[in-house]
Amino acid sequence: MKVFVGTFVHSTANTPMVILTDTALGIVNTKIAFIEAAEKLEQLKIDYGFTDSCIIYLTQSQFMMPGMVDTHIHASQLSNNGLKLDLPLLEWLESYTFPTEAMFSDLKVAQDIYPKVVERLLRNGTTTASYYSTLHLEASKFFAGLVHTKGQRALIGKVNMMVNCPAYYCEDSLEESLKDTEDFIQYVYNMQSPLIQPIITPRFAITCPTDQLKGLAKLAKKYSCHIQSHLCETKSEIEWIQELFPWSKSCTDVYDSTGLLGEKTIMAHCVWMKGTELERLKECNVGVAHCPNSNTSLCSGLCDVRKLLQQGIKVGLGTDCSGGYSPSILDSLRRALDVSRTLNMQHQDNHFLTLPEAFRLATLGGAQVVQMDDQIGNFMAGKEFDALLIDLEDTIEDKIQKFLYNGDDRNIIQVHVAGRCVINQQNH
């Protein structure tokens, strides 16, 4: 048993940010056994049979928050982070992204890059991620084992794509695509990891013909798997999909009629959705991965998250590396606020996201999108203990830097002029 005592911050269904001070949180094995007022500590010791040696007191400068969830990230693209953001999506994929992913046919590349990706994400507070690897079976298997060993919670998808992609980076046949995907699913289930699950990953409708989408939906059903893809990210993508699937009513309809929409489906972006498409996402309980850095960096568009939330659609945050150039969900949180405010400036509707709401998207919202909110997302007894300990006590050098970059009147406690203290906010 381990017990933390101090300040905890999390979201609940009703309140986007709840701050619990003087609180005790007890952990047994992987799970939260209790979260109670610290004044009950003596009784808790008796009830749960622990002693003072199990208690860790957070300092005044520390707090705990739930681990963050990245609902959409391409692990194989991280080496391009911050590079090559000068083309729109479809040209960007062709010129930069497919060549980068193709390198993972060499297992050595995977062994070199993937450990850095997982460590980078964990260091940035991402305790759960929904990953795209590449279309390579062996590298994807290696990645699944690695994420398990590093101790991160994850959905891991071997990418499927077989048309409208270069010959050097393309699945050979429908049969091979489905066989490799099933092999990958079985491999991950055989690992029997409590942390890792496979996710069916048709890249997007442009690269996956109808029979492939249907075949993948069948596999998802057979193994009760999660599903992830990209939806309505850019206008040119939507136009091309309408040409490729002339029978479809919309892009959402392409995934819908092939059997890919359900409560375990994550759709990234959803920037340019018609009203009927949003209604369908809600009906099917599909989750949306909002990727604001990527949407702005690739000039894809501004996603109106408020509209999604008002429809009752599940929304989480995604970094979408390397369309987005930051691997941090904190960055995604800040970008989500920026985009929401930008839309508000256009519409003047005062419906922009608040900071607590963005915090919820990064934690509980993300947990809902990956359909794990019964296990993670906030601090409730019975849930897994996925948490970050934050300490804002800096070295003196860092304090000075942070003050010069981010400080303001809240940090200027006293002002003296000619020996007279003209401002004094000490102890206010």
Q: Which position has the token pair 């499927």?
A: 160
With CB under 6 A as the contact rule, the residue among 203, 264, 314, 335 that binds ligand GUN is 203
With CB under 6 A as the contact rule, the residue among 294, 319, 363, 368 that binds ligand GUN is 294
Strands 126-132 and 420-424, sheet pairing = unpaired
Q: Does 97 bind ligand GUN (CB under 6 A)?
A: yes
With CB under 6 A as the contact rule, the residue among 45, 148, 158, 230 that binds ligand GUN is 230
Instruction: For residue 58, give the DSSP letter.
Output: P
Cis, bond preceding 326 (omega within 30 deg of 0): no
Q: What is the C-alpha to C-alpha distance for residues 27 and 103, in angstroms, rounded to an integer?
A: 42
Residue whose CB is less far from ligand GUN, 50 or 96: 96
Q: Which position has the token pair 């050097």?
A: 168
Instruction: For residue 407, give the DSSP letter.
Output: -
Decide which of ligand GUN, Fe ion, none touches 93; Cβ closer than 5 to 8 Å per partner kind: ligand GUN
Residue whose CB is less far from Fe ion, 45 or 269: 269
The full DSSP string for 94-144 is IIIIHHHHHGGGSHHHHHHHHHHHHHHHHHTTEEEEEEE--S-HHHHHHHH
With CB under 6 A as the contact rule, the residue among 93, 165, 231, 271 that binds ligand GUN is 93
Give the max Cα distance, the chain.
82
Decide which of ligand GUN, Fe ion, none touches 110; Cβ closer than 5 to 8 Å per partner kind: none
**Token digits for 20?**
């619990």
Q: Does 89 bind ligand GUN (CB under 6 A)?
A: yes
The full DSSP string for 342-364 is HHHHHH----PPPHHHHHHIIII
Q: Which position has the token pair 């701050």?
A: 19
Residues 295-324 that bind ligand GUN (CB under 6 A): 320, 323
Q: What are phi and psi of 416, to 5 degrees?
A: -110, 130
With CB under 6 A as the contact rule, the residue among 8, 63, 169, 204 that binds ligand GUN is 204
* 153 CB neighbour count, 10 Å cutoff: 24
**Token digits for 247?**
């029978």
Least distance in Å: CB of 170 to ligand GUN? 13
Residue whose CB is less far from Fe ion, 216 or 266: 266
Residues 56-85 that bind ligand GUN (CB under 6 A): 74
Least distance in Å: CB of 197 to ligand GUN? 21
Q: What are phi and psi of 417, to 5 degrees?
A: -130, 125
With CB under 6 A as the contact rule, the residue among 70, 171, 180, 233 that binds ligand GUN is 233
Stretch binding ligand GUN (CB under 6 A), from 4-12, 19-27, 89-97, 216-224: 89-97
Residue whose CB is less far from ligand GUN, 24 or 213: 213
Decide which of ligand GUN, Fe ion, none touches 304; Cβ closer than 5 to 8 Å per partner kind: none
**Residues contributing to the site for ligand GUN (CB under 6 A):** 74, 89, 93, 97, 203-204, 230, 233, 294, 320, 323
